[in-house]
Amino acid sequence: MNVYLRNNIKIIGKGSHTVVLSHGFGCSQTMWRYIAPALAKHFTVILYDLVGSGESSLAMYDYQKYDTLDGYASDLLEIIDEVSDGPVIFVGHSVSASIGLLASIARPDLFLYQIMVSPSPCFINHDDYVGGFSASDIEQLCETLDSNYLGWSSSMAPVMMGAPERPELTEELTNSFCRTDPKIAQHFARVTFFADNRAALPQCFTDTLILQCSADFIAPSSVGEYMLATMPKAELVLLNDDGHCPHMSTPDACLKAMFNYLNKATPPIGLRNVC
């Protein structure tokens, strides 16, 4: 198995520390282009596509393996073992934040820091936990996706992106959804939106930055507060942004929060002359 071909791995920059960027549902590594060049000035940056997304090998999509997020976490560990000689700084958007969570618990030696962008360990409300959706909401979302994937893509993209003043970002996300194989997207959607990884949060002892938007329909502020209270070594930064993709809609604010966190981290990264 060639993980470079399986996950369409790209490497940019060269630094003493390695940053791994992992995208969200319906997206690809291209969504990191608003922040990846700035990171590559200081780090070796690894970009990859989740199997079934982007330019990954669709032939490697195994419905049994990827029936839980553990399959993607296993891939991530293989990628880190392949591309890095030491622990990495992992940046995961949305569902990839949960993938990184699971991977860091399985192999904490491979993770120096985690940065979670718009994470949600569970999208469904449970008792006093407010994930943002009822189980019937998620079921209806998945049924709509199953019956009219293109329609779902065009209606969901503006909700996820926010940033109505930048329609080109919504168009980009819509097109990314539409390029994904519908059957894989239907399967991955259920794996993503029905997952419940709340029990994993207290098991993660990797230093973690949680980046959350002030108004996110997909992951409301209650989710970030819950994660902050539940994870042993977490810090929460609220970005003044509407939407679920701040690395695209407000990349400068994302970068500033990341660099501020890494500059004061222990052990220190030693960044200089950054925003």
Helix (H, G, I), strand (E, B) or coil at 111: strand
CA 10 – CA 30 distance, rounded (Å): 11
Q: Is residue 147 within a helix (H) or strand (E), and if so which, with residue range?
A: helix 135-147
The third-level CATH classification (topology) of the domain covering 3-263 is Rossmann fold (3.40.50)
The answer to whether 93 touches 22, Cβ cutoff 8 Å, is yes
**54: phi then psi, degrees, rounded to nearest 5:** 55, -130
CA distance 262 to 272: 11
Catalytic residue selected from 17, 42, 244, 247: 244
Catalytic residue among 216, 241, 247, 249: 216
Predicted confidence at residue 203, as pLDDT, reads: 98
pLDDT at 254: 97
**Residue 94 is a catalytic residue:** yes
Mean pLDDT by 10 residues, the chain (275 residues): 94 95 95 96 97 95 98 98 95 98 98 98 96 95 88 83 82 83 93 97 98 94 97 96 92 96 81 58
Per-residue buried b or exposed e for 57-70, using 16+ beta carbons within 10 Å of the residue's own CB: beebbeeeebeebe
- Residue whose token pair is 């097109």: 175
* Residue the block writes with tokens 């985690």: 114
**pLDDT in the model for residue 216:** 93
Q: Is the pTM of this model over 0.75?
A: yes
Catalytic residue among 56, 94, 118, 249: 94
Predicted confidence at residue 148, as pLDDT, reads 85
For position 199, what pLDDT does the model report? 98
Domain boundaries in the chain? 3-263
Alpha helices for 148-270 (secondary structure H): 149-161, 167-179, 182-193, 221-230, 246-249, 251-263
| Collapsed DSSP state (helix, strand, coil) of residue 264 | coil
Greatest distance between any 2 Cα atoms in the chain? 51
Among this protein's residues, is 244 annotated catalytic? yes
Active site residue 22: no
